[in-house]
Amino acid sequence: MKIVRKVKVKNSLGLHTRPAASIVKLLQPRKSAVQFTHKHETINARSIMSILMLAARKNTVIEISVEGDDAELTMQHLVDAFESEFGEK
């Protein structure tokens, strides 16, 4: 199963090291393949360096693509993390 959804980066500093590390940690127990797309660049969301290379600032819209057996659960966890600003509120 493949799910695609768009989310907005709400963190005041964008996707800097702490949120990127949170994403990688969140994906560790998941089996699905996860990709982020921003400005026609698609990266593997399991790579902290790739996430940082997106240089996604506040209010940037990122497309998340999740494909695999646990796609729905993985997507929900990612959306919740973006909505809660990765605990930085």
What is the pTM (predicted TM-score) of this model? 0.94
Q: Which residues are catalytic?
A: 16
Query: Looking at the domain 2-87, which fold is it?
Result: Histidine-containing Protein; Chain: A; (3.30.1340)
Locate the domains of the chain by residue range. Answer: 2-87
Cα Rg of the chain (Å, integer): 12
- Paired with 4 in beta bridges are 65
**What percent of the chain lies above the pLDDT cut of 70?**
100
List, for residues 15-24, the tens digit of each pLDDT value: 999 999 999 9
- Does residue 88 register a pLDDT over 90? no
Distance CA 61, CA 32 (A): 21
